Chains A and B, each alone.
Chain A
């Protein structure tokens, strides 16, 4: 399939897009601005419509410039609302998102009534049409990605510092406002770039999903950014491939679903944070605890006898909840207990271990 020129362009485009949104998305996720992407991408719509109304042409660069401007206006209005009024950030986000989008839809329907033959196809910005990507669009993406990488490398230390300790950054004398605006502007830029491919409605997921998946595998910012870029690029490639192989499928939703699969996989199978291993660790800990409880109970009984290996009936253990046939077998395997028929007796090592069970653990903890 990679022999097809158009498909190769599109695949390259979505891969680059996934990489750059993944990279910048890591910052959005860690800064707790996840939903900002949603608001910005919706807020970009009126910009596209106005740019079309002014120029009357469908050149994607001018439209994206319009989107960028209106996205930035939306972003700074959100900040204004949060900073200067008592409305909370979620209200501000939802407000800008829906109001800008509604206004954009008004303009789009208005444009559709215009006698301009050019107007058809503006609604591809709603859900994205990767099929309309041209080589020049891919070049634009590549250039922006390069620029973005450069800025990330140049300001890496500042971004990282601002991310994790904004107050400290300020006391060190960095211009936090500038760094903040820089990173936010790049996030807006990345979102705007993706509008043509993924569309206004689903762009936020492109920003979040790769970053949220990458977060599960590492605690280092550099690794996370790198992983997010890779996850994003793969979602782009797979999504394009799947949607190209079927009729009637917009690329945007498919890419988002592929990215969501990455997220679910990471949530479940990540070794240190994943749900699966967490559950396994939890069960194993509980078993260990029950084993210790049984052993301690046996020790209590054995203590009352002069001969610690004096045999006792298994029945004695029946009142005790932590005891099962299996745990008893396990204790035998560890050579803590010997079983003869229905009688059990502690071995020397078993007695020692049981006696030191809690003292040993406390010293280990220290």
Chain B
């Protein structure tokens, strides 16, 4: 029997978002090192680390930071297997696949390490050319290593931030980065109503799936999907009106006040000092002032 795969795929996409949010929520309330930090401090320091990573040019520094991220995950009670899977499963593995051709002399010319193919002669098509020998180059390997180390370190710290922070704390922490109040308020409202929408989509698709004995033609299914997007949009506009009225009835006058109160502790100060120290050490190491 033909299956309506698009129904399952949509339900799966909705379930994945809910699952990711559930995991993040469960780790963010654990009693660990990063969970204990003030949201502002964590956001600013993680941003500093991500910018620092983008300035580092030695894979040893980047892999060093990646190992630190593993230690931080452990100290923050994030299971190592889960963390490794979450970090590597998407961006770095995808990046490894796309960077593979860059190790060849076609993309990165340089000293050959391994000859893969010998052609009768070089070929040229407009801006594209093939050398007589297709080789893996030393420069290509070094470039791929640097690129992958940077992506892995960046993704590890970005995932660590999302896993160990409550979403509301991240949004409130954005205020410390001078994000306008209205932007922060919109973000937190979006997060809240995102789950209302996910539930709405799930209900629509489950109802449809439960009534599907045989799918319609692809054209009819496309029309049906488009109608669900249209319905979701209509509901979003209606809901925004209702929410606005509810806000006004509770005395909202356009001013956003956060209930989160931040308390800087000695642990926060120690964390900031440690991050700054690590940053200085890495910069000195990269400049060659500090030897390994």
A, B from the same assembly: no
Binding site for A on B (CB under 8 A): none
Interface residues of A (CB under 8 A from B): none
